[in-house]
Structure 1
Amino acid sequence: MEFRAVIKKRGEWWIGWLIDLPGVNAQERTKEELLESLKMAADDMLSTPYQTRNEEELVSIKV
């Protein structure tokens, strides 16, 4: 999978977030560390199980 990320250097830190996965963001000292942290955060978010409740139904949508 590929995701779009916005990254920028802010003082001594690199910060970034994924446009396609809201809530996935990171801050690191180097650009390389930032990209790795964003990858790990995206993987964590996508692999987190979701337990449906009551009348909810979990469906997959292919784009």
Structure 2
Amino acid sequence: MLYRSYIGYEVTIIPAGEAGWYVVECQSIIGCVSQGKKFEEALENIKDAIQGCLAVLNEKIEIKGEEKLIEIAV
């Protein structure tokens, strides 16, 4: 049976200003920012942004010698 685990990420939400957009920033991933016209849209967009940022960071990990990078579910 496959179990999925999730890690929570804190985000800062800047309410819609005159432009009408909510801006959301992930505090633990530098440069991971998104936005949305509605609050719910902004939250969905930051989830996509976090997944994208993590995918890019995983590609940049260098494995040296006999080290191995594996993904496990707990």
Confirm or deny a common fold (TM above 0.5).
yes
- Aligned ranges for residues 9-48 of structure 1 at < 5 Å? 9=15, 10-11=17-18, 12-48=20-56
C-alpha RMSD of matched pairs (Å): 2.3
3-state secondary structure, aligned to 2:60? coil
SS at the partner of 1:42?
helix
Runs of at least 5 residues in structure 2 that lack an aligned partner in the other structure: 1-6, 63-68, 70-74
Larger Rg belongs to? 2
Q: Give the Cα separation in 1 of the matches to 2:23 and 2:49.
A: 13
Query: What is the deviation of 1:51?
Result: 5.8
Equivalence for 2:14: 8
Distance 1:33 1:26 in 2: 10
Which residue is equivalent to 1:50? 60
Q: Secondary structure at the match of 2:28?
A: coil
Structure 1: 4+ residue segments shifted above 3 A? none
Paired residues, what number?
Answer: 56
Q: Which runs of 5+ in 1 are unaligned?
A: 53-58
